Structure 1
């Protein structure tokens, strides 16, 4: 029986952005599910539908989606960027076999702000009412901050797939200290599953210093750092090696579970 994996995408993305990862995981026996978050389907009216969506809506959608699959065994959650923040929130709420956090956005209480990763948001955050408006990076900003490390051709192809994101979610994540509802908070003590965290030295959106603090929330976490990679780890030159390492980490956990033993915490 193949192990269920739920792939949770990040900002400006859809479930289709997981194609490379799916192509690497499925031959290894993992049954991948890559839902597209609410209002992220690439339709003509997508910007109009996404502007005021909340991270809480995304989390609730994913929780319902996972419950509706009625998996025979708890799934592995693999999240990228914002999706890795959602994976943390879900792992604190529902049974999860393991959580893989790829360049995760930081939960409430961790300051991830720096000049490098605030710069691309300046144009967005400077507009009145941005918290209810859709937004999307310019081609130049996306190349510099999201797809840095990819070839110009790959950057162009990725940008053509990029959808708009919710201004409200940008507020909830980027200005967490002003969000009295603590929408991005995670009950780290309730995350009891094994955790694998990936940080990257050239990541200009979720900088390595903040990702190290995310890993520090979980005493059971395994942390892998790539000094030269950027943010777009789900389809770059080292994606295959990364997935190989993740699978190597997962196999002993799965073997122990198959023998009826509890996965290590």
Structure 2
């Protein structure tokens, strides 16, 4: 298992020293942990301590990532989930976990292992048992899935591909700004794992939705998301809602896959914050 970097270890030590409720953020493909910077400030201003570890071997900056894309290759779902599973063991208090896209899938897997106090999965990638595969999802995945060799590669999205998959609900100007500021290559492996999840009984892309230790879960869906369409999140909700813990679905009208980083990020953060605050107060 890849261990936390010295910087990440210092962040965990700082969180423990604060005595505050920790919130762990998990990013998805084509973004870095810095994509959560606004969210971290938002939650810290409201009395939480926050951590945003990257995926294993993630560079610190977008510039470094684009100069050395090969570091993203070969990252599997289980490898990344195991990496984030170190967080609860490093913390004195069980954390809240918030994830986006593949990070939303990983957040649900951590909850399945009873490692989070409250979980928020935003536009989460689907898991085994989630059956809808809308055309927009296929088109968004095509830059990876169109070439089997990409399974072992890091894949960078062109602006046009990022525009379709992430920023389709935004103006051209904002879409370009977000691409330049945030977009980095991503591992092709998880995309292939997700695409084959319903054909592979041993897939790493699965969640035990009946685990009674899962805890409260909020699923957030962007109505106009092309990468993880609303139908996919609704299908995940239908599986998760049978859990004995609370499961809630919140649709965000007019929002695409960029909803955590675009001009409307605060609205999504407020939805997540309200759910987390309520559930933590119930658990006290």
Shift of 1:44: 5.9
CA distance in 2, matches of 1:179, 1:101: 23
Q: Tell me the residue number matched to 1:10.
A: 28
Find out whether 1:63 has 2:85 as its counterpart: yes
Aligned partner of residue 85 in structure 1, secondary structure: helix
Number of matched residues?
256
Structure 1 residues 180, 45: closer, same or farther in 2, change over 3 A? farther
CA distance in 1, matches of 2:167, 2:38: 15
Shift of 1:51: 1.9
Shift of 1:2: 2.2
Alignment deviations for residues 107-166 of structure 1 (CA, whole Å, 9 cap, x no partner): 112124221121133343222422111112111110122122233333223223322111
Q: Tell me the residue number matched to 2:39.
A: 21
* Matched ranges for 1:1-265 at <5 A: 1-41=19-59, 42-43=64-65, 46-67=68-89, 69=90, 71-160=91-180, 161-190=182-211, 191-219=213-241, 220-258=246-284
Structure 1 residues 129, 180: closer, same or farther in 2, change over 3 A? farther
Aligned partner of residue 85 in structure 2, secondary structure: helix
Structure 1 residues 119, 255: closer, same or farther in 2, change over 3 A? closer
Aligned partner of residue 130 in structure 1, secondary structure: helix
Q: Tell me the residue number matched to 2:5.
A: none
CA distance in 2, matches of 1:182, 1:64: 22
CA distance in 1, matches of 2:216, 2:171: 34
State TM-score, norm by structure 1: 0.89
CA distance in 2, matches of 1:180, 1:257: 35
Structure 1 residues 32, 112: closer, same or farther in 2, change over 3 A? farther
CA distance in 1, matches of 2:112, 2:248: 18
Q: Tell me the residue number matched to 1:263.
A: none
Structure 1 residues 81, 112: closer, same or farther in 2, change over 3 A? farther
Of residues 95-104 and 175-184 in structure 1, the stretch that sits farther from structure 2 once superposed is 175-184
CA distance in 1, matches of 2:140, 2:128: 21
Measured on the aligned residues, the alpha-carbon RMSD in Å equals 1.9
Structure 1 residues 124, 205: closer, same or farther in 2, change over 3 A? same
CA distance in 2, matches of 1:123, 1:43: 18
For structure 1, the residue ranges without an aligned partner over 5 or more in a row are 259-265
Contact 1:13–1:40 (CA under 8 A) maintained in structure 2: no
Contact 2:141–2:227 (CA under 8 A) maintained in structure 1: no
Structure 1 residues 152, 20: closer, same or farther in 2, change over 3 A? farther
Alignment deviations for residues 228-263 of structure 1 (CA, whole Å, 9 cap, x no partner): 1111111233322222222222223222333xxxxx
Structure 1 residues 142, 254: closer, same or farther in 2, change over 3 A? same
Contact 2:88–2:115 (CA under 8 A) maintained in structure 1: no
